[in-house]
Amino acid sequence: MDKVFVQGMKFYGYHGAFPEENRLGQRFYADVTLELDTRPAGKSDDLEQTVNYAKVYEAAKEVLEGEPVKLVETLTDRLAHLLLDRFSVIEACVVKVTKPDPPIPGHYDHVAVEIRRERD
């Protein structure tokens, strides 16, 4: 299967297990790898035969700047399912959501959750 990468998408959301995260918000990053057959688009040079990167960004924005949740796992799962629901050409996707500078004791650069989901 071919792969399309959309990396380093940046958002500001109000997700987290602590009240201050929900009140102050923080940055979140998303990286997606989309598995699909790119041959039809490659032959036709037609955007309708593949995934529009701008629409992938819009889907990520909808989730990561949307309704607050407690867990990065929830954000990651929601984005994966939204991509599969919204783009029929995607057969599977790998979604990684990163939360830089989490408010937990110790020195952390970031935490991240990465999942792979396939079309049923």
Does 105 score more than 80 pLDDT?
no
pTM beyond 0.85: yes
Write out the two tokens for 113: 């959750």
Question: What CATH architecture does domain 2-118 belong to?
Answer: 2-Layer Sandwich (3.30)
Considering the candidates 10, 43, 96, 99, report the single residue annotated as catalytic. 99
Q: What is the pLDDT of residues 71-103, one digit of tens each?
A: 999 999 999 999 999 999 999 999 999 999 877
Q: Answer yes or no: 55 catalytic.
A: no
Domain boundaries, the chain: 2-118
Does 43 score more than 90 pLDDT?
yes
